[in-house]
Amino acid sequence: MDMNKGILALISLITLALCLPLQACQPASANEFEVTSLDVTPAKVIVNEKFTVIADIGNAGKSEMSYVIPVMVNGIADDRTTLKLAPGKSWEIQFTLSRSKPGTYEIRVGNKSSSIQVIEALPPMLKLSDLKLNMEVANPGEEVVITALLSNTGGSQGDYVAELKINDTVDQSEKLQLPPGVNYNLAFKVIKSDPGTYTVSIGDLTGKFIVQEPIKTMQLTAPICPPQKAGTQRSACCP
């Protein structure tokens, strides 16, 4: 009988020893799992644009615990992560999310919540302005710089092919992808050798420059004086 009691006691000790580490690995209870802050950035995005959910998680319990932490979007788990924390410690976690439909979405981690507004992307609006030439009169072979400002005042990225035309013929071009709210300075360099007037255009902006005739230099030579005869007066043009 005493031997049976000893065996039962040993089995109980072994069972208790096996259960203790398992209990430490169980998910934390609501009282131990603590979300101290929640931030969603930015607060407004366009459809399919990514936003970030940042939460500070703390262990309010008295032992090391493992946490399975979901991020909820309108009450549905969208993503999750697992975190192990010592007692009294905290850690920052991040989720990167996006939404394919416009609307206002509630974002929740633990007992903290915030919101994100998803809007339809506005089309790009590309505009050219401020055409300038660094000179209006140039010498043959001299570089003329033509600049203009391209702006995207729309709500999404726009593609644009900037063409520089000289006398209605495409001389140069540049392909661009311009994000919303961005300005870009176009610059084209032109060298012409033939004198004349050149009309330049970028989009509906126009200007002109003139290549002037090359300056001709005159070479002066000293006059040739004939031999002076005896008894005659030397010409005034001769020394």
Which one, of 182, 181, 144, lies nearest residue 164 by Cα? 144
Q: Would the pLDDT of 215 be above 80?
A: no
Tokens of 105: 């979405």
pLDDT band with cut points at 50, 70 and 90 for residue 32: confident
Residue 33 to residue 228: CA distance in whole angstroms: 123
For residue range 33-92, what is the model confidence (pLDDT) as tens digits?
A: 899 999 999 999 989 999 999 999 999 888 998 989 999 999 999 999 999 999 999 999
Strand order in the sheet with 183-191: 126-133, 143-152, 183-191
Q: Would the pLDDT of 202 be above 50?
A: yes
What value does the mean pLDDT take over residues 203-212?
96
CATH 2.60.40.10 in the chain is located at 27-119, 126-211
Q: Would the pLDDT of 12 be above 70?
A: no
Q: Would the pLDDT of 218 be above 50?
A: yes
Report CA dihedral (73, 78, 83, 88) to the nearest 10 degrees: 0
What is the dotted CATH code of the domain comprising 27-119? 2.60.40.10
Which one, of 9, 63, 76, 77, lies nearest residue 31 by Cα? 63
Share of the chain above pLDDT 70, in %: 77
Q: Would the pLDDT of 234 be above 70?
A: no
Task: Kindly report the number of other CB atoms within 10 A of residue 50's CB atom.
Answer: 10
Q: In sequence order, which residues have a C-beta less than 8 Å from that of residue 172 and are 6 or more positions away?
A: 163, 164, 188, 190
Contact status, residue 54 vs residue 38, Cβ threshold 8 Å: yes
**Where is pLDDT greater, at 38 or 10?**
38
- How high is the mean pLDDT of the chain? 85
CA quadruple 166, 170, 172, 177: dihedral positive or negative? Answer: positive
For residue range 111-148, what is the model confidence (pLDDT) as tens digits?
A: 999 999 999 988 999 999 999 999 999 999 999 999 99
Residue 45 to residue 144: CA distance in whole angstroms: 43
What is the dotted CATH code of the domain comprising 126-211? 2.60.40.10
Residue 128 to residue 125: CA distance in whole angstroms: 10
What per-residue confidence (pLDDT) applies to 7? 56
pLDDT band with cut points at 50, 70 and 90 for residue 20: very low
pLDDT band with cut points at 50, 70 and 90 for residue 25: very low
